[in-house]
Chain A
């Protein structure tokens, strides 16, 4: 059976090749659109931010607080408040999230896992406005005010705790995926050497999943910094804020400052550079989250390569 093979036999179906080409064009177009949108965002932010920074009196960037309508653009106020609130959020989310992840990945019976995992994922989908409202009406009076009698009704503490609740499921699910991805053979090696579960989790699973766990934390931090609604509702200081390091004071984050400016009437009736300052803060925020996300991507890539 020595039949001659011709090129025609291998040429395939022209229709199929055409279809593949069209699908490819479609995908490339979709990719290009999202890239174009990102570039547009950066350009418009950068343009307005530049017009702000080139016109503003630089000394007004370092004052007693953030009161854009009075020409006081103290950027440190926003950065400090952002850091405090995100920090409190992380202090809540890291132990809770990692604990939940370790429980789900290593301890929960398959049956418990079957309903717990979706529950955590649903938690991750709660709209932040709901959590903001909850932070204001429950965390602030029932938790913060009870522990710290000096606390005001609007505090960075309440907002930070709310943000912590918001990002805990993110830490939990991403870390759990990283821990589940650790090969069973490593656990067997550990148990086979006479390790118990606690040691196996701490000394084998955790280190092997570390880059994924770190990535989950960076993602959560980025989410905490970018969170708007909770801080807008619960941290108070809608019009502006004094520079303060006290978490029991009201405070204004970068995101809340943007929201406050954008929802006000400054765009049409504002004085001078008030509205422009929004773009400057926005650009700052954009760069910070961009840096955090690419950092987290690096970690994720590293952990994909690991075993």
Chain B
């Protein structure tokens, strides 16, 4: 689990030509978007430190440590059931909604322990917004979907402006500007997901958690969401769960690979490796990671 900036040497082709190509692709993409490889210039904004999550007696995730840096995209990948969603949802205390869920260890946001006494989960979610796997617009108009969050937070400014700018940042404005009063259900799946992103942005969070935001979408809608993530990264810190490794490789700066241990029929998720995306996909430190990514890519 090194945190060193990747050097060209490390990215040099070793296992095969395909991976070299991929590494080059990832670096080119990153250059296009950020103008360089990720470095440590960005501060750690969220620190997961030895986080364990339980559902009742069931130990779902064991001892996860991940420093998440500001204005980067951090991807969580791994096989189904390894606890990616569980960890993600513990970051904005969404797991509080599940009665049996319990978090141990420390999750700090700007140094503040999110599970400390005196922390209001409602306030946490205003800073750390979330986009879900299945688009979940409210059965309300497009406008009211966006205005929902700001309204309950007591937003005083010009709501029309806010709705417009949120939709614009989610690259949806041009498609919906003439039908803001229509039901959000009339939009396509990809549009609904961008609406959900716009809705999350409208409350101006610092961090966006995205749980497989494109898994229900077709390839073109998926690419639009990915483009959007590049844009959003200028202002937001993004953590994305994805099943799609190409997607993780394309969009993220750093990647956490989770796996699941089975003993006595109990499946406990665990973090295998967390490092820069380009390194993880070309020169992983762990054999397990390599098996997983080559299995998928090959």
Residue numbers of A with Cβ under 8 A of B are 109-110, 183, 185-196, 199, 203-204, 207-208, 306-307
B152 engages A199 (CB within 8 Å) = yes
Minimum CB–CB distance from B86 to chain A (whole Å) comes to 14
Q: Given the complex, which residues of B lie within 8 Å of A188, measured CB to CB? A: 94, 97, 130, 132, 136
Minimum CB–CB distance from B173 to chain A (whole Å) comes to 20
Q: Given the complex, which residues of A lie within 8 Å of B139, measured CB to CB? A: 186, 207-208, 306-307
Minimum CB–CB distance from B181 to chain A (whole Å) comes to 16
A193 engages B129 (CB within 8 Å) = yes
B203 engages A189 (CB within 8 Å) = no
A190→B137 CA distance, assembly (Å): 10
Other-chain contact of B138, A189, A191, A196 (Cβ < 8 Å) = A189
The 9 residue pairs across chains A and B that have the minimum distance between CB atoms: A194-B126, A193-B149, A185-B136, A192-B130, A189-B136, A194-B125, A196-B122, A199-B152, A195-B152
Q: Given the complex, which residues of A lie within 8 Å of B203, measured CB to CB? A: 193-194
A192 engages B132 (CB within 8 Å) = yes
Minimum CB–CB distance from A186 to chain B (whole Å) comes to 6
| Category for how many chain B residues contact A | 20 to 34
Residue of A nearest to B92 (CB): A192
Residue of B nearest to A109 (CB): B99
Interface string of B92-130 (1 = CB under 8 A from A): 101001010000000000000000000000110110011
A191→B124 CA distance, assembly (Å): 10
A199→B137 CA distance, assembly (Å): 16
Is B17 interfacial (CB 8 A cutoff)? Answer: no
Count chain B CB atoms within 10 A of each CB in A187, A188, A192, A199 and give the residue with the most.
A192
B99 engages A194 (CB within 8 Å) = no
Q: Given the complex, which residues of A lie within 8 Å of B200, measured CB to CB? A: 192-193
A250→B12 CA distance, assembly (Å): 95
Minimum CB–CB distance from A211 to chain B (whole Å) comes to 11
Q: Given the complex, which residues of A lie within 8 Å of B199, measured CB to CB? A: 189, 193
B152 engages A194 (CB within 8 Å) = yes
A196→B124 CA distance, assembly (Å): 11
Q: Given the complex, which residues of A lie within 8 Å of B134, measured CB to CB? A: 185
Q: Given the complex, which residues of B lie within 8 Å of A307, measured CB to CB? A: 139
A215→B293 CA distance, assembly (Å): 54
Other-chain contact of A195, B99, B122, B130, B136 (Cβ < 8 Å) = B122
Minimum CB–CB distance from B89 to chain A (whole Å) comes to 9
Count chain B CB atoms within 10 A of each CB in A187, A193, A203, A306 and give the residue with the most.
A193
Q: Given the complex, which residues of B lie within 8 Å of A186, measured CB to CB? A: 136, 138-139
Count chain B CB atoms within 10 A of each CB in A188, A190, A194, A203 and give the residue with the most.
A194
Q: Given the complex, which residues of B lie within 8 Å of A194, measured CB to CB? A: 122-123, 125-126, 149, 152-153, 203
B152 engages A192 (CB within 8 Å) = no
Question: Can you give 7 contacting A-B residue pairs, CB < 8 Å?
Answer: A185-B134, A186-B138, A192-B92, A192-B200, A195-B152, A196-B122, A203-B152
Residue of B nearest to A189 (CB): B136
A51→B152 CA distance, assembly (Å): 62
Is B55 interfacial (CB 8 A cutoff)? Answer: no
A194→B140 CA distance, assembly (Å): 18
Q: Given the known A-B contacts A194-B125, A204-B138, A207-B139, are A189 and B132 also in contact in the complex, defined by CB atoms under 8 Å? A: yes
Q: Given the complex, which residues of A lie within 8 Å of B97, measured CB to CB? A: 187-188, 191
Residue of A nearest to B123 (CB): A194
Q: Given the complex, which residues of B lie within 8 Å of A110, measured CB to CB? A: 99
Residue of B nearest to A307 (CB): B139
A307→B138 CA distance, assembly (Å): 10
Q: Given the complex, which residues of A lie within 8 Å of B92, measured CB to CB? A: 192
A204→B144 CA distance, assembly (Å): 11
Is B148 interfacial (CB 8 A cutoff)? Answer: yes
B140 engages A192 (CB within 8 Å) = no
Is B170 interfacial (CB 8 A cutoff)? Answer: no
A-B contact sample (4 more), CB < 8 A, given A183-B136, A193-B200, A207-B139:
A189-B196, A191-B125, A194-B153, A199-B152
Residue of A nearest to B135 (CB): A185
A187→B148 CA distance, assembly (Å): 13
Q: Given the known A-B contacts A203-B148, A203-B152, are A192 and B138 also in contact in the complex, defined by CB atoms under 8 Å? A: no
Other-chain contact of A193, B99, B123, B125, B140 (Cβ < 8 Å) = B125
Count chain B CB atoms within 10 A of each CB in A185, A191, A207 and give the residue with the most.
A191
A192 engages B148 (CB within 8 Å) = no
Minimum CB–CB distance from A60 to chain B (whole Å) comes to 53
Q: Given the complex, which residues of A lie within 8 Å of B123, measured CB to CB? A: 194
Minimum CB–CB distance from B27 to chain A (whole Å) comes to 34
Q: Given the complex, which residues of A lie within 8 Å of B196, measured CB to CB? A: 189
A191 engages B94 (CB within 8 Å) = yes
Q: Given the complex, which residues of B lie within 8 Å of A306, measured CB to CB? A: 139
Minimum CB–CB distance from B193 to chain A (whole Å) comes to 12
Q: Given the complex, which residues of A lie within 8 Å of B148, measured CB to CB? A: 190, 193, 195, 203
Minimum CB–CB distance from B62 to chain A (whole Å) comes to 25
A193→B136 CA distance, assembly (Å): 12
Count chain B CB atoms within 10 A of each CB in A110, A189, A199 and give the residue with the most.
A189
Residue of A nearest to B205 (CB): A194
Minimum CB–CB distance from B94 to chain A (whole Å) comes to 7
Minimum CB–CB distance from A160 to chain B (whole Å) comes to 35
Residue of B nearest to A306 (CB): B139
Q: Given the complex, which residues of A lie within 8 Å of B129, measured CB to CB? A: 192-193
Q: Given the complex, which residues of A lie within 8 Å of B94, measured CB to CB? A: 188, 191-192
A71→B126 CA distance, assembly (Å): 71
Q: Given the complex, which residues of B lie within 8 Å of A195, measured CB to CB? A: 122, 148-149, 152
